[in-house]
Structure 1
Amino acid sequence: MSPDATPDPFTEPVAFGQRMQILRTRRGMSRGVLAGLLGKSPSWVKQVEGGRLQMPKLPVVLRIAEALRVRDLSDLTGDQSMAVHLFTGPGHARLPQVRSAINTYPLTTQREAPPQAHLRERLARAWSARHSAPNHRDVIGALLPDLIRDAQLAVLQADSAAERRTAQAVLSQVYSLSQFFIAYQPDSSLLWRIVERGMVSAQESEDPHTLGVAAWLATQAHRDSGAAHFDAADAVNLETLRYLEPLLTDATDDVLAIFGALQFEAGYTAARRGDTGTAWRYWDTARAMADRLPADYYHPVTSFSKAVMGAHAVTIAVELHAGTESVRQAAAADTTTIPSRPRRARHRIEEARGYQLDGQIEAALATLDKAYEAAPETIRYNGYARRIILEEAESKNPTQRRRASELAVKVGVLAS
């Protein structure tokens, strides 16, 4: 290897501080930004990276891993006995079948595609099943392979330009459902194939709502890739908002909702950057859009609604690392009106993050228990929940350590 080359932290015996610096640099993150996310000084980061301070204790290591979006803890520590996937959950048993359906392109027609109305009905039922099932990945993982193949066939067999556009809209929405299944599983390349194909099909459909949903999911995929991709997240998000805005006067509830959901996503990204004013400004704009929707409206993909705005406020506060504000927003949020089990579980995880930030560890662990009750598969695949459980399993407080260990067993967080 050239003496000028950047060492690979995964192949060379590199010290913890060097690994931390390499991974930070790959994320395009400055020492100051990382220090702010950790509640430390830039000087502390520099001393750790330079080897003048030893590897921190596990709770701090886990916070570093979260800030750098490290998928496997051993990538940061160099200790293969700590091969714990933080932001990638276990591979689902149905992942091979879903992957095979996505990777296969039909070029010849061995059978006739189902009518598009039939496909739309199956898709609507799949979304309904996702929101109502505690083990939602298992349910939609069973439905997706046939849905993907049939939606692809419908595009291939379309007889007119108009029929092809509507078929592309259905296919894009099937890819959207697929992204919910694939997210946080150990196949990032498959996730990006789904994101890109969903966006292309949405563009081919020329349907504003379908385009909005595909952009909403692309925004999340970029943002979850780390700080170096925040600009890409904003690019697709803000461009879609500009496209949709002239259509709002006569828009359907679904278009209004996806516009509001994209406004919130812009605020979410701003919060991840630490931009408090921008984050809350976008949340206010999203709330104003939610107020235009019927009281009982609930978007089938994004969960955007009046009911979810309280949960969104908790997320903004947590991403800004504002513990007291997170707890205040959690107390104000009415989660009983959120009809989706996985969305309620996700909100409970965000609440738990807020309680931990505020030093209320018992409340954080109790809230994670509630998340597990709502949707076990949501907490099992959520990196933030896994990080809290792992941290508190090392707690000096025996009660907290025991409770976190019991959660770890239920969730399977240490199974890898």
Structure 2
Amino acid sequence: MPNDATPDPNEEQIAFGQRMKILRDRRGMSRPTAAGLLGMSTSWVKQVERGQIGMPKLPVVLRIAELLRVRDLSDLTGDQTAPVDLFIGPGHHRLPAVRDAVNALTLGATNRQAPSPAHLTARLAKAWAARHQAPNHREVIGDLLPGLIRDAQLAVRQADTAAERRAAQAVLSEVYSLSQFFIAYQPDSALLWRVAERGMVAAQESEDPHAIGVAAWLAAQAHRDSGPAHFDAADAMTREALAFLEPALPDADDRTAAIAGALQFEAGYTAARRGETGTAWGWWDKAQATAARLPASYYHPVTSFSQAIMGAHAVTIAVELRAGGESVRQAVAADATAIPSRPRLARHRIEEARAYHLDGQQETALATLERAHEAAPETIRYNGYARRIVLEETESRIPARRQRAAVLADRLGLLAA
């Protein structure tokens, strides 16, 4: 009996070209569009997909993987013997302790008095500051999180009044937000989603606009990073949160205005992932207007939203739209020295490297990734885009560039046996 169903690219017997076509079709991308973004001819793409040309070499495979938002290379190549997840970094040695704290119940009797929400808020402020200052930020917050999680959970449980409970829930929601920064891109996606959902529930229970905005901002990112099938969910999250915050914005404090601006940028980020140029830059303009109302020195501790970050955000929009020349122009215009957070600066350097790589400036891209590594080694080690560029350049035909990429790959742990 004939079967007209779309084949599953995860079945090993499907050839590379068939997998490429299936994944391209799922993204709703035409063959000429894919060819243009890859820098190849339409006939080349057609020949690859029909099996008339075999699997390309690694640099081209990696470019196809990024274009089609493939998370694990085996989904594209069919080689299940050595799966390479480009967007999942290594498991941090503190992950089990954080996981245990998240999963623990605080239902049993305890003789310990929970810290007050004010005390927890002060600890959180120190934790965020430590994260921004540390080159190995997962190490720092991974050490702090288990105690923060348990104490915040206990504070909610021991709250005596509705007001105290709402205040404790707001703190607990932000603790979960900090946890998401630690867990992201580690090999436990179920834990990430559990924390995201608990953070949203706690934020809604708190009825605090800022807590709700932060939880929505992180949840939108989790949806978007799950792939094109979840872009609508990401959009719904950002738009609903913005609609909730809008009535309070005329009189909002800086942190609430900042989370609204961060959500506006997230809407633009998702639009850029869709390839919607006008919509993406339109949201960036709205975020820019929101940033302009903030003090010049203000820097949101969770989202990094500020006047200083808007140049970096412009680079991200241009890169996601795969506009090489515009990406480089925005990278040159952005003032990276104004970003006070080491991990956020490293992330910006990675986006700059993507811009130079798109524009064919591979040597500059590698140099920029080296600067990202200097700012925050853990950030680049867990970043799929950086890993993809480095792996591609280890196959460069230019010996000096190949050697430079190999050194960086070794620093990132990509060459470990």
Which TM-score bucket, shorter chain as reference? over 0.9
Q: Which residue of 2 aligns with 1:68?
A: 68
Is the Cα contact below 8 Å between 1:209 and 1:255 reproduced in 2? yes
Aligned partner of residue 352 in structure 2, secondary structure: helix
CA contact (8 A) 2:394 2:406 kept: yes
User: What is the CA distance between 1:68 and its match in structure 2?
Assistant: 3.2
Given the alignment of the two structures, is residue 383 of structure 1 paired with residue 384 of structure 2, yes or no?
yes
Contact 2:12–2:78 under 8 Å retained in 1: no
List aligned pairs for 1:338-353, cutoff 5 A. Answer: 338-353=339-354
TM-score, length of structure 1 as denominator length: 0.94
Deviates more, 1:243-252 or 1:38-47: 38-47
Write the deviation string for residues 231-255 of structure 1: whole angstroms up to 9, x where unpaired. 1110000111111111111100001
Cα deviation, residue 29, structure 1: 3.8
RMSD: 2.0
Moved more, 9-18 or 172-181: 9-18
Q: CA deviation at 1:195?
A: 1.1
Tell me by how many angstroms 1:201 deviates: 0.8
Give the letter aligned to residue 181 of structure 1: F
Q: Residues 67, 104 of structure 1: CA spacing in aligned structure 2 closer, same or farther, 3 A cutoff?
A: farther
Classify the secondary structure of the residue corresponding to 2:125: helix
Given the superposition, is the C-alpha separation of residues 5 and 323 from structure 1 closer, same or farther in structure 2, using an over 3 Å criterion? closer
With over 3 angstroms needed to count, the CA separation of the structure-2 counterparts of 1:350 and 1:187, relative to structure 1, is same
Partner of 2:187: 186
Q: Secondary structure at the match of 1:51?
A: coil
Instruction: Tell me the distance in 2 between the aligned counterparts of 1:390 and 1:378.
Output: 17
Cα deviation 1:350-409 (Å, max 9, x = unaligned)? 000001111111110000000000000000000000000001110101111111111001
Check whether the contact 1:69–1:225 (CA below 8 A) recurs between aligned residues.
no
Structure 1 residues 208-241: Cα deviation after superposition (integer angstroms, max 9, x where no partner): 0111101111111111111111111100001111
Compare 179-188 and 377-386 and name the one that shifted more.
179-188
Deviations 1:65-113 (CA, angstroms, capped at 9, x unpaired):
2233333323321234543221101111111111111122221232321
Q: Which residue does the alignment assign to 2:113?
A: 112
Rounded Cα–Cα distance in structure 2 between residues aligned with 1:120 and 1:5: 54
1:132–1:341 Cα contact (<8 Å) kept: yes
> For residues 201-220 of structure 1, what are the structure 2 equivalents within 5 Å?
201-220=202-221
- Select between 284-293 and 71-80 the one with higher mean Cα deviation: 71-80
Matched to 1:124, the amino acid is A
Q: Tell me which amino acid in the other structure corresponds to 2:59.
A: P
- Give the aligned length: 415
Question: Which residue matches 1:322?
Answer: 323
> Judging changes above 3 Å, is the alpha-carbon distance between structure 1 residues 399 and 285 closer, same or farther for their aligned structure 2 residues?
same
AA matched with 1:213: V
Structure-to-structure mapping, 1:86-235, within 5 angstroms: 86-110=86-110, 111-235=112-236
| Distance in 2 of aligned mates of 1:415 and 1:129 | 30
Structure 1 window deviating more from structure 2 (163-172 vs 1-10): it is 1-10
Inter-partner Cα distance in structure 1 for 2:328 and 2:120: 43
Give the match's secondary structure for 1:306. coil
The whole-number CA distance in structure 1 between the counterparts of 2:34 and 2:157 is 48
Q: Structure 1 residue 9: deviation in Å?
A: 4.2
Per the TM alignment, residue 257 of structure 1 is displaced from its structure 2 partner at its CA by 0.4
Q: Against the structure 1 CA distance between its residues 197 and 359, is the aligned structure 2 distance closer, same or farther, given a 3 Å change threshold?
A: same
Q: Deviations over 1:108-147 (max 9, x none)?
A: 2323211211111111111111100000001101111111
User: What secondary structure, in the 3-state scheme, does the structure 2 residue paired with 1:86 have?
Assistant: coil
Is contact 1:9-1:75 (8 Å) kept? yes
Instruction: Confirm or deny that 1:337 pairs with 2:338.
Output: yes
Match of 2:407, SS state, is helix
CA spacing shift, 1:160–1:44, aligned 2, 3 Å:
farther
Question: How far, CA to CA, are the matches of 2:212 and 2:145 in structure 1?
Answer: 21
Deviation of 1:164 after TM superposition, in Å, equals 0.9
Structure 1 residue 307 displacement after superposition: 0.6
One-letter code aligned to 2:368: T
Alignment of 1:16 with 2:26, yes or no, is no
Aligned to 1:303: 304
Aligned partners of 1:287, 1:260: CA distance in 2, in Å? 8
Does the residue aligned with 2:280 lie in a helix, a strand or coil?
helix
Stretch of structure 1 that moved more, 89-98 or 64-73: 64-73
1:179 is displaced (CA, Å) by 0.6
Q: Which amino acid aligns with 2:139?
A: D
How many angstroms apart in 1 are the aligned matches of 2:27 and 2:362? Answer: 32
Q: Aligned partners of 1:28, 1:361: CA distance in 2, in Å?
A: 27
**Deviation digits for residues 300-359 of structure 1, max 9, x if unmatched?**
000000111111111111111111111111111111111100000000000000011111
The Cα offsets for residues 40-68 of structure 1, whole Å up to 9 and x where unpaired, read as 56665454333233212211211222233
363-372 vs 3-12, greater mean Cα deviation: 3-12
Cα separation, 1, equivalents of 2:262 and 2:225: 17
Could you tell me which residue of structure 1 aligns to residue 243 of structure 2? 242
1:138-175 CA distances to partner (integer Å, 9 max, x unpaired)? 11011111111111111111111111111111111011
Unpaired runs of 5+ residues, structure 1, are none
Distance in 1, matches of 2:194 and 2:41, equals 39
Taking only the aligned residue pairs, the percentage that are identical comes to: 73
Check the 8 A contact 1:327/1:355 in 2, yes or no. yes
TM-score by length of 2: 0.94
Kept in 2: contact 1:165–1:204 (CA 8 A): yes
Aligned residue number for residue 404 of structure 2: 403
Matched residue SS, 1:85: coil
User: Residue 78 of structure 2 aligns with which residue?
Assistant: 78
In 2, distance between residues paired with 1:299 and 1:144? Answer: 20
The answer for unaligned runs of 5 or more in structure 2 is none
The offset of 1:39, in angstroms, is 4.7
State how far apart, in whole Å, the 2-side matches of 1:185 and 1:122 are. 25
Q: Distance in 1 between matches of 2:324 and 2:172?
A: 41
